[in-house]
Structure 1
Amino acid sequence: MSNKTWPRAILHLDMDAFYVNVHILEHPEDAGRPLAIGGQPDQRGVVASASYEARKMGVRSAMPMSTAVRLCRNLKIAPANWERIRECSKQVMAILDDFGDVEQMSVDEAYVDLSEWDNPEDKVAEIRTAVKTKTALPCSVGLASSKLVAKVASDHDKPEGFTVVPPGEEAAFLAPLPTRVIWGIGPRTAEKLANLNIHTCEQLALADLGLLQGAFGNQAASLKQRARGVDGRSVEPDRGLAKSISQEWTFSQDVDDPDRLRSQLQKMAGKVAQSLQKRQLVAHTVTVKFRWADFTTFARQRSLEVGIDDADTIYAVAEAIWEEHWPPGQKMRLLGVGVSKIEAPQVRQLGFNFLD
């Protein structure tokens, strides 16, 4: 197909079971078996990635590992090799960079603008071959005229899928799929749509605008457009500064010891500070995340007049937030520290004052 029929050609590449397959590079004996990458069940670990053999048994990402081992008795658990994962990710992104502008979304996912090529479908085939040949890792790809449809297409025929949605066929491709596949539609929006008896993209595309406006206000027209595959977002090679940086820790057993909680808070503040300093950034807001033993979860934050990047200041603010909102004796399951309102520094901080 000549690129004259492609007003835009956008590829979405998604590495298949990335953490699992990176592990298999070093441990080929684990290929073909139910495998989960993540923490141990007795330490409240969660599944970061599951092999397709494990998925057939119901194991899914973000599932508590204790649930995963109940579903799959012969599940093997392995920790994530972050150094190798990052190395493999850099290899993949370097390959993509040879074909067009790349917008990396995560370690295992990216968009590539192939609009400059005469035959974008041929280039997609080249990319798949290059990734598999140079990294020995499988991937799935989707090619479409928009980011929204390209992402749905890459997930359409996993693993090692190759789905092309030619211009003009976006609405027909999306029509039978559930509304949840659409970018920006989460569980709550999908539930509200279901209450209107709207379950598929086709039903949403054909829905009465007035009916949708009653439920979603000025977002109604955008929902209808996205259900037809209309998405004007472009591939952005530089995604800009990070919006937030955070660390959190789930305790293996619920903790109410203030010294231990302060110590963990300080460690996390140090790691957040390192991330800021490495990127030569400062932050104006510090957030502390709380989770009690009964899973009650909330976050509290404070903003500062001057940007900060040092561990002592981040810890001082985080500790003040924690002391204000932690009732002594309250058992904690999880504790987190984060920063936001990030920017490149104009001047170094001389101290800090809380904003009202």
Structure 2
Amino acid sequence: MNPRRVLVLNHFAVPPGHPGGTRHVELFSRLPGWTHVIIASRRNMITGRPQRAEPGFHLVAVTPYRGNGLGRVVNWASYAVTATVASLRQPRPDVVYASSPHLLAGLSGCVVATLRRTPFVLEVRDLWPRVLVEMGTLSETSVAYRALERLERFLYRRADRVVIMAPGVRAAIEGKGVAPEKIAFIPNAADPEDFVPSRPRAELRERYRFTRRTAVYAGAHGPANGLDLLLAAAEAVPEIDVVLVGAGVEKARLQAKARAIPNVRFLDPVPKSEIPDLLHAADVGVHVLADVELFRAGVSPNKVFDYMAAGLPIVTNSPGTVGDLVLGADSGYVTPPSHLAHGLAQITQASPDELAKMGAAGRSWIRANQSRTAMAHALGRLLAPLVDGDAPR
């Protein structure tokens, strides 16, 4: 039997080994009986540099932008146009799978699925446009918000399945009229086997110039990430070094703000293949989000699962879904959003054995409960009935 084909629309996806999101290539490459093509931006949205297509990827042109203004919206729209055109030139897929955060990628997927007469799966990474209201970016009474909410409801109605990545999102989506049986929970994941370092820890600490107890934040530097809270915490706990690795629209401002904080350092984004070395050299992984109520239940952060798979203890300022995970796995400390300094202080006081115990507990939990292989099997169980015609509509 010929393998089935899934067409994945993800504006921000990157091939393995590059800085950025590799969720879909990791999931679909583990899916037996399926081939996949991911339609992604030709420009890496983290580094700003062009990226080359690799097997399983088709890259499309998008407009450049800086900051969070109109140029970013034009960038999203350009992806929606070029991704739709590129998708319609692909061989007919068995399923179209479109991933947010921005809803224009979902609209592109819906258009392609309609024209190719295939099932449509919408993956909800963030609760747009609600998250924009809670962050103060949009007014609930604005024309833009009302238009985005109509688009959101339209996509929910048209999707054959809606994939969520955090359990707290389910109630919000059901509240938009989505039938419970249409919603599938497939969170982010990680495999400890993918986080084996290439060198002994002492060599890696020398490479990254980690000379004291060191907390690493590896991820985006944007408004939602709340990194001002991390800088304030680092300033309050000078006994620990804090290293921020990544890129984003807020990075230059954060770097300027941190010049007077001697225990804070910034590094450029590193390829995904280098993350195991970086985390093995560190003493703790930091997860930070802005103080937004929606984030308590609506996130599935890759970095937390990476920290756990690498055997790194965690400090997070996100009570709710993430905090419950960290506490339930005995893998670190949870603080209120504005009290991250307390978590860093606890890390400075913990013994090496205590840190090692938390790291090992996190690794054991992720292996048993949320490996990429297990999530790929869940994805396979979601897709097969859609293709076979056995799924309720």
Instruction: Give the alignment's TM-score, normalised by structure 2.
Output: 0.28
Structure that is richer in strand per residue: 1
Structure label with greater radius of gyration = 1
Instruction: Give the alignment's TM-score, normalised by structure 1.
Output: 0.30
